[in-house]
Structure 1
Amino acid sequence: MDMSDFDGIKRDISLKVEHIFEVYEQEHYCMPTMEEFRTMFNEHIDQYVGPDDSLKGAGLNMSSDTKQRREQKVWRVVNELEAEQRFLRSD
């Protein structure tokens, strides 16, 4: 993954990560655990990776390797953004 991919994905996902933290903190008065955060973000992963059948309607198939590579890119970015949020909110 080159830096332009990473920066583009980071820009797209940063608001979702921040939103998850804000909503959780408002409801629970604490930050989510790593497991809770990842479970909550996982509910939105198809929005960034695309569901398995998203390209089939256009006559294209997304191989499992392609989907796995996309998921890995997204999770790398999410992990970095999660760490940033934890640092910013740890006052």
Structure 2
Amino acid sequence: MDNSDYDGIKRDISLTVHDIFENFEESNNRLPTLEEFRTLFDGHAEQYIGPNDQLKVESISPHQDKHHEREQKLWRAVNELEAEQRFLRSEC
């Protein structure tokens, strides 16, 4: 994975992850569970990944495509940012 690509994804989604935590905590007086967070973020995921039918790449094996590659990068970054938010909010 290209590090600059991953860093760009993290930078792009960091505010979204922060806002999900902020809004959920404000509304519910608690942090979202892992499942709740992932459900909330899933609504934003396609915005960052792009539509599946336009990302096919012939050079990648038939079992993989550009959509899957981008989805993996996105969720790796999301998981890292989620962990950071949980850590920061647990110190409060």
Answer yes or no: same fold by TM over 0.5.
yes
State the 1:3 CA deviation. 1.4
Q: Distance in 2 between matches of 1:3 and 1:90?
A: 29
Q: Distance in 2 between matches of 1:40 and 1:16?
A: 10
Q: Which residue of 2 aligns with 1:5?
A: 5
Matched, 1:28 2:28: yes
AA of the residue aligned to 1:83: A
State the 1:35 CA deviation. 0.6
Alignment of 1:1-91 (within 5 A): 1-53=1-53, 55=54, 62-63=55-56, 65-91=65-91
State the 1:76 CA deviation. 0.3
* Structure 2 residue ranges without an equivalent (≥5): 57-63
Query: Scaled by the length of structure 2, what TM-score is found?
Result: 0.86
Q: Distance in 2 between matches of 1:51 and 1:14?
A: 21
AA of the residue aligned to 1:67: H
Q: Distance in 1 between matches of 2:3 and 2:70?
A: 15
Query: Scaled by the length of structure 1, what TM-score is found?
Result: 0.87
AA of the residue aligned to 1:86: R
Q: Distance in 2 between matches of 1:30 and 1:47?
A: 27
RMSD, aligned CA: 1.1
Q: How many residue pairs are counted as aligned between the two chains?
A: 84
Q: Distance in 2 between matches of 1:39 and 1:69?
A: 20
Q: Kindly, what percent of the aligned residue pairs are identical?
A: 62
